[in-house]
A and B are shown apart, each in its own frame.
Chain A
Amino acid sequence: MTSTDKEVEWFDEEGNRVDGRKADELRETTMEVGVLEEADGSAMVEIGNTRVIASVFGPQDLHPKHLQESDRAVIKMRYNMAPFSVDDRMSPGPNRRAKEIGLVARRALEPALELEKFPTAGIDISMEVVESDGGTRVTGITAASLALADAGIPMKGMVASCAAGVVDDTPVLDVNGKEDKEGNADIPIATINRSDDDTESREEDKVTLLQMDGDLTTDQVEDCVQLAKDGCRQLYEQQKRTIREKYNATDGGDQ
């Protein structure tokens, strides 16, 4: 909701956005699993110019012991931006923003994981943003979910995540860096997806991440959430294809 000196033309005459997309269109997205060898599971997701690598170690022994839970595995989540991932170099090391994103990303993934299968164990998830153009947390969550599947962690569904926002009073899917900085709002959400869900189903309607900053009517918020959920479903389809291609499975990614 920053007002700038020069008026931004958010849409051209044909209704295309600053990067040529329609309002309900995701940026070009590529996904790859098994990109790292040391980690038990890994994935890279690239959405436009935003690129995040995620890794999973575990389930494994968790130390110190007092962090263990007797009835489930404990997730440790790291979100980090590489110094060169933004125009103005980011000083290395943790900061408050990264800590908070680590927390909400963990909360976005946990409900989909069958943690009770691994009492006292630890699962380390890590997201490295190597290039940023808006939507790094949602891209990281989408990548982390793929990495969890790659690591063979049992899941109730795949978590997919993307953001919707409002520019020029119009809801748009998958806000890029410019739309995020100068638009009216940004709502990142994450959902749990299963392939046996029908359109009105239960799992699909489970929103595990929701943040918002901006200035919107409640109707606009509802529109954005619906738009972002549709985006998550598209990303889920691609996640599923990516896992299937990797493991050459006839059916998978949803059990």
Chain B
Amino acid sequence: MKINEEDIRNKIKKGERHDGRDPLEYREISIEADYINETANGSAMVEIGNTKVLVGISIDVESPYPDRPESGTIVTNAELAPMASREFESGPPQEDGVELARVVDRGIREAEAIDLNDLCIEAGEKVYTVFIDAHVLNDDGNLIDATSLAAMTALKSGYLPEYDEETGTLDRDEKWKDIELSTEPITATARMINGEMVFDTTHEEEDAQDARLTVSIDENGQVVAMQKGEENPYSTDEIAESMDLVKEKTQKFRNLIEEAVE
């Protein structure tokens, strides 16, 4: 049991949170697109309250998988930098970091947000690989939403450099064309604390949570990816309620991304 766990669980029953927010309310969200000046092919810094996540896109050229000769690839990776939390250690990604990367990845790849065929340079020979690297700099909770938001913003502001057939290299200094997005899935996470639904938990609140459900929804309101996490079960009613609320929240995120990449 963590210090404020009991207090947080009791308060939420009365609809109260320790920072005065409503249970469904997000902290202040700020999005800075193109945070990295030169080296990345797209980037975004997202802050939700004190949580800070930086995502950078890198583009490389690789051979396609033999069974999908015309498909490019997407690789998503998340690093919980030791500076982000007293609890993080240096070393290979732990369970949390791997889950974070995979949930964010699913919200983009499985939603077919990027048209992989659009990443083909020469069928069977050369395709673009889009690396989405998330760097968590400060963890005050809700990393999945912050990282997804940063990843979508970075992709929307990102670009492919032109491949030079003669030299076999990428012309990294020029923006050649946008990364084509066929849909734009946005991700938000509903949490259950002591029987109440809560959004945008702080690190402290996450120590007190029972369960969470992450939902990715595209611009047509279609659900494209989900992940249930933490110890406790989730009822069918809670699933339905989560999806409805996420639909509402992601609409707001959509507007924030649009403003940031303008």
* Bound CA span A87–B38, Å: 8
Verify A49–B83 contact, CB threshold 8 A: no
Which residues of A have CB within 8 Å of B177? Answer: none
Which residues of B have CB within 8 Å of A130? Answer: 36, 54, 56, 135
B140 at the interface (CB under 8 A from A): yes
Main secondary structure of the interface of B (DSSP, over half): mixed
Report which of B38, B52, B54, B60 forms a contact with A89, defined as CB distance below 8 A: B60
Residue of A nearest to B154 (CB): A84
Which residues of B have CB within 8 Å of A53? Answer: 83, 137
Which residues of B have CB within 8 Å of A54? Answer: 83
Verify A82–B54 contact, CB threshold 8 A: yes
How does the 8 Å CB contact mask read for A122-164 relative to B, with 1 for contact and 0 for none?
Answer: 0010101011110000000000000000000000000000000
From 3 to 47 in chain B, residues with beta carbon under 8 angstroms from any chain A beta carbon are 36-40, 43
How does the 8 Å CB contact mask read for A31-61 relative to B, with 1 for contact and 0 for none?
Answer: 0000011110010000001000111010000
From 93 to 112 in chain B, residues with beta carbon under 8 angstroms from any chain A beta carbon are none
Residue of B nearest to A58 (CB): B86
The answer to whether A131 and B36 touch (CB under 8 A), given A36-B138, A55-B83, is yes
Cβ distance B143 to chain A, nearest Cβ, rounded Å: 12
* Bound CA span A94–B79, Å: 12
Report which of A37, A49, A131 forms a contact with B140, defined as CB distance below 8 A: A37
* Bound CA span A83–B40, Å: 9
Which residues of A have CB within 8 Å of B86? Answer: 38, 57
Residue of B nearest to A102 (CB): B90
B232 at the interface (CB under 8 A from A): no
Which residues of B have CB within 8 Å of A89? Answer: 58, 60, 131, 133
For chain B, the count of residues having a C-beta within 8 Å of the partner chain is 33
A78 at the interface (CB under 8 A from B): yes
Cβ distance A4 to chain B, nearest Cβ, rounded Å: 15
Which residues of A have CB within 8 Å of B39? Answer: 49, 84-87, 131-133
Report which of B38, B77, B83, B203 forms a contact with A36, defined as CB distance below 8 A: B83
B239 at the interface (CB under 8 A from A): no
Residue of A nearest to B79 (CB): A92
The answer to whether A42 and B131 touch (CB under 8 A), given A83-B56, A85-B39, is no
* Bound CA span A87–B173, Å: 9
Verify A49–B38 contact, CB threshold 8 A: yes
List 16 A-B pairs, Cβ < 8 Å: A36-B52, A36-B137, A38-B84, A39-B83, A39-B138, A49-B37, A57-B86, A78-B82, A84-B56, A84-B57, A87-B39, A88-B58, A94-B90, A128-B137, A130-B56, A132-B39
